[in-house]
Amino acid sequence: MEKPFILHMFTPTPNVSPFDVNMAYDAGFDKVMPYTHVSLDMISPLTQDAIFSRGPTGVARTGIFIGGREIGMAADMIDIARRAMVPPFEVSLFADPSGAFTTAAAMIAKVEKSLNNLGGNGLKDREVVLLGGTGPVGTAAAVLASMAGASVRVASFSSATRARVTAQMINARYGATAHAADATSGDEIHDLFERAEVLLGTARAGVQVASLQQLKLCKRLIVAADLNAVPPAGIEGIGLMDDSKPLASGAGNTVGIGALAIGNVKYQVMRGLFERMITTDKPLTLDFRDAFLLARELV
> What gap in Å lies between CA 188 and CA 192, rounded to an integer?
6
Residue by residue, pLDDT tens for the chain (299 residues) are 688 999 999 999 999 999 999 999 999 999 999 999 999 999 999 999 999 988 888 888 999 999 999 888 999 999 999 999 998 999 999 999 999 999 999 999 999 999 999 887 899 999 999 998 888 999 999 999 999 999 999 998 888 888 999 999 989 988 888 999 888 877 788 888 999 999 999 988 888 999 999 999 999 999 999 999 888 999 999 999 999 999 999 999 999 999 999 999 999 999 999 999 999 999 999 999 999 999 999 99
Q: Which fold has domain 100-262?
A: Rossmann fold (3.40.50)
**pLDDT value of residue 1:** 65
How far is the C-alpha of 137 from the C-alpha of 234, rounded, in Å?
14
pLDDT value for 175: 86
Considering the chain, tell me which residue range(s) the CATH 3.40.50.720 domain(s) occupy.
100-262
Q: Which segments of the chain are extended strands (E)?
A: 6-10, 31-35, 62-66, 92-95, 127-131, 151-156, 178-182, 198-201, 223-226, 243-247, 254-257, 285-286
Please, what CATH class does the domain formed by 6-95 belong to? alpha beta
| Amino acid in position 261 | A
Nearest to 196 by CA among 248, 110, 128: 128
Q: How far is CA 210 from CA 91, 184, 185, 298, in A?
A: 44, 13, 14, 29
pLDDT score recorded for residue 184: 80
Residue 119: what pLDDT? Answer: 81
CA distance 162 to 81: 29
Q: Where in the chain is the domain with CATH 3.40.50.10280?
A: 6-95
Q: Are 143 and 174 in contact (CB under 8 A)?
A: yes
Q: Which CA distances in Å does 200 have to 92, 131, 219, 252, 278? A: 32, 6, 16, 18, 33
Residue 43 CB neighbour total at 10 angstroms: 24
- Which residues on adjacent β-strands are paired with residue 286? 94
CB 215 within 8 A of CB 249: yes
CA distances from 237 to 105, 224, 249, 263 (A): 23, 10, 10, 18
In our burial notation (b when 16+ CB lie closer than 10 A, e otherwise), range 270-290 reads bbbbbebbbeeeebebbbbeb
